[in-house]
Chains A and B, each alone.
Chain A
Amino acid sequence: MSSPTVPADFSGHMLDLDEDEDLEVFTKKTSMTDGSPMPNSPSSMVNQYGLDEEEEEQGTSTKDIFITVDNPESQVTAIETFIMYRVVTKTTRSEFDSSEYEVRRRYQDFVWLRGRLEESQPTLIVHPLPEKFVMKGMVERFNEDFIETRRKALHRFLNKISEHPILSSSEHFKVFLTAQELTPHRKQGPSFLSRMGETVRAVANSVRGLRSRPEEFVIMQEYVEDFSNKISSMDKVTQRIIKEQKEYLDELGQYSPTYTQWAGAEEELAEPLKGMAGCVELCNKETEELISHLADVLVPALHEYVLCAETLKTVMKRRDNIQADFESKSEALAAKKVDQEALKEEVDALADRVELANNALKGDWSRWQNSMRTDLKSAFVATAEKNVEYYEKCLAVWERFLLSQRTEPSEEQAGEDAS
Chain B
Amino acid sequence: QLDSLLKKMEINVAEAEKRTGKNTMNMQETYTVYLIETRPAEAVPEGGTPATPDCLWRRYSEFELLRTYLLVTYPYIVVPPLPEKRAEFVWHKLSADNLDPDFVERRRVGLENFLLRVASHPVLSNDKIFFLFLTEEKGWREAVLETGFQDKVDSRLKSLSAMFRVKNPDKRFTDLKHYSDELSTVIAQLLRVRARVADRLYGVYKVHGNYGRIFSEWSAIEREMGDGLQSAGHHMDTYAASIDDILEEEEHYADQLKEYLFYADALRSVCKKHDLTQYESEMAAQDLASKKQQKEELATGTVRVFSLKGMTSKLFGQESQEQRESRLAALEQSIQEGEELLKDKNTECQEFVRTAWEDIERFKEQKDRDVREALISYAIMQISMCKKGIQVWSNAKECFNKM
Contacts and interface: CB of A to CB of B under 8 A. Distances in A.
Interface of A: 223, 226-227, 230, 233-234, 237, 240-241, 244-245, 247-248, 250-252, 254-255, 258-259, 261-262, 265-266, 268-269, 272-273, 275-276, 279, 373, 376-377, 380-381, 384-385, 387-388, 390-392, 394-395, 398-399, 401-402, 405-406, 410-412, 416, 418-419
A373 B221 CA distance: 13
Contacts of B53: none
B190 A380 contact: no
The 4 closest A-B pairs by CB, nearest first: A384-B397, A391-B389, A248-B200, A395-B386
A254 B401 contact: no
Interface in B189-218: 189-190, 193, 196-197, 199-201, 203-204, 207-208, 210-211, 214, 217-218
Interface string B339-375: 0000000000000000000000000010111011101
B375 A273 contact: yes
A251 B186 contact: no
Nearest to A287: B204
A254 B383 contact: no
B153 interface: no
A258 B383 CA distance: 22
Contact of A223 (B221, B367, B380, B382): B221
Contacts of A245: 204
Nearest to A248: B200
B6 to A, nearest CB: 13
Contacts of A273: 375
B377 interface: yes
B31 interface: no
Given A262-B190, A272-B372, A377-B401, A405 B197 contact: no
Given A248-B197, A276-B375, A388 B390 contact: yes
Contacts of A384: 393-394, 396-397, 400
A387 B186 contact: no
Contacts, number: 156
6 contacts: A245-B204, A248-B204, A255-B197, A262-B186, A265-B179, A399-B383
A241 B206 CA distance: 9
A241 B369 contact: no
B376 interface: yes
Nearest to A276: B375
Interface string B149-191: 0000000000000000000000000000001001101110110
A373 B403 contact: yes
Nearest to B193: A254
A391 B393 CA distance: 9
B390 A392 contact: yes
Contacts of B367: 269
B286 to A, nearest CB: 35
Contact of B393 (A275, A388, A398, A401): A388
B85 interface: no
B182 A265 contact: yes
Nearest to B398: A384
A230 B221 contact: yes
Nearest to A261: B186
Contacts of A272: 371-372, 375
B403 A411 contact: no
B389 A387 contact: yes
B18 interface: no
Contacts of B380: 402, 418-419
A258 B190 contact: yes
B225 interface: yes
Given A255-B193, A376-B403, 6 more contacts: A227-B218, A266-B368, A387-B396, A388-B393, A394-B382, A418-B373
